């Protein structure tokens, strides 16, 4: 693996990213002294001040340690930012597993116990959800392209989605389940908002929510359960895959091309 010339994004950000990749890949083992600022600057084709700032950020993150008059040494090859993201996604995975358990049982009970008032509440909530969902006409069961949704529109969609699923919980006519669902609503809101706004996780289409409402109205608990699983399980599977990859510390590989200026200039340690 070799460093490549920094691009037009913030030079400091590019330098941080490339040094972080080298560190997490184990190019420089823990306790080793990394190349001098001048050597790194030459390889990245940036100024020494840029390299100095990048190193300062990685020192603050705990990956490097500067020893005055001696150089900079590797303190950790674990990216703390990646650790934080892994914890956040682990928490989100737990939320979705809990939500799946609640939603499956709520949908099954709602299909068996719903009355006319419940169906009216569910349908009205479904209409509001569809109006807030800019991709409601999409034929794709799941969507990854929500990252460009405006903040207010995103919050509205999440609010209407929570209201729809809460209406189903109410239709279960199980007071303990409704209370649990309402208590869980803050975590539910955060989980839905993360998935809707995160282009790496699949967001269930409005069509799948229509299928869930149809199954409940038809009084078919098995179909209702299948609909819930189609809505939620892809996100759980995607979160499991993200956590597995990060647990394996798999950095994004740089694949040199014929134009890579560093391909024939591997980084070496200072003497």
> Quick check: 64 pLDDT over 70?
yes
Instruction: Please report the sign of the dihedral spanned by the C-alpha atoms of residue 104, residue 208, residue 204, residue 140.
Output: positive
Q: Is 71 left (phi over 0), alpha (psi -120 to 50) or beta?
A: left
User: What are the start and end residues of each CATH 1.10.10.10 domain in the chain?
Assistant: 11-78
When pLDDT is cut at 50, 70 and 90, the band that residue 219 belongs to is very high
Tell me the C-alpha distance between 6 and 213, whole Å.
52
Averaged pLDDT for residues 147-164? 76
**pLDDT at residue 190, as a whole number:** 72
| Residue 235 host element (H or E) | helix 221-247
Task: Indicate the average pLDDT of the chain.
Answer: 79
Write the pLDDT tens digit of every residue in 79-95: 666 555 555 566 778 88
| Residues 6+ away with beta carbon under 8 Å from 10 | none
Averaged pLDDT for residues 56-82? 83
**pLDDT at residue 151, as a whole number:** 58
> Quick check: 203 pLDDT over 90?
no
Q: φ and ψ at 21, to 5 degrees?
A: -60, -45
> Quick check: 238 pLDDT over 90?
no
When pLDDT is cut at 50, 70 and 90, the band that residue 208 belongs to is very high
**pLDDT at residue 187, as a whole number:** 73
Contact 20, 249 (CB under 8 A): no
Q: φ and ψ at 251, to 5 degrees?
A: -75, 160
Per CATH, the homologous superfamily of domain 81-247 is GntR ligand-binding domain-like (1.20.120.530)
Write the pLDDT tens digit of every residue in 257-269: 333 333 333 444 4
Write the pLDDT tens digit of every residue in 127-151: 999 998 876 665 555 554 454 556 5
User: What are the start and end residues of each CATH 1.20.120.530 domain in the chain?
Assistant: 81-247
**pLDDT at residue 252, as a whole number:** 36
Highest mean pLDDT: which of 4-8, 70-74, 179-183?
A: 70-74
Q: Domain 11-78: give its CATH code.
A: 1.10.10.10
């Amino acid at each position: 693996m070799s460093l490549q010339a920094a691009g037009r994004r913030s030079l400091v950000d590019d330098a941080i990213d490339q040094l972080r990749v080298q560190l997490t890949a184990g190019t420089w083992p823990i306790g080793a002294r990394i190349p001098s600022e001048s050597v790194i600057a030459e390889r990245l084709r940036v100024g020494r001040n840029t390299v100095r700032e990048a190193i300062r950020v990685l020192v603050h993150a705990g990956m490097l340690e500067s020893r005055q008059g001696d150089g900079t040494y590797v303190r950790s090859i674990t990216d703390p930012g990646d650790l934080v993201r892994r914890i956040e996604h682990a928490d989100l995975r737990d939320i979705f597993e809990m939500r799946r358990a609640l939603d499956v049982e709520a949908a099954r009970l709602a299909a068996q116990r719903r009355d006319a008032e419940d169906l009216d509440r569910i349908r009205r909530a479904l209409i509001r959800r569809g109006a807030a969902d800019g991709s409601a006409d999409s034929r794709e069961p799941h969507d990854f392209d929500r990252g460009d949704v405006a903040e207010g529109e995103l919050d509205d969609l999440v609010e209407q989605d929570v209201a729809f699923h809460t209406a189903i919980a109410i239709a279960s006519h199980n007071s303990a389940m409704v209370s649990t669902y309402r208590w869980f609503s803050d975590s539910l809101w955060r989980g839905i908002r993360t998935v809707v706004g995160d282009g790496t996780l699949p967001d269930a289409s409005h069509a799948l929510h229509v299928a869930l409402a149809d199954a409940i109205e038809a009084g078919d608990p098995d179909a209702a359960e299948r609909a819930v699983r189609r809505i939620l399980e892809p996100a759980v599977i995607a979160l499991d895959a993200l956590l597995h990859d990060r647990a394996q510390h798999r950095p994004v590989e740089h694949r040199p091309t014929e134009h890579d200026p560093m391909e024939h200039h591997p980084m070496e340690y200072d003497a």
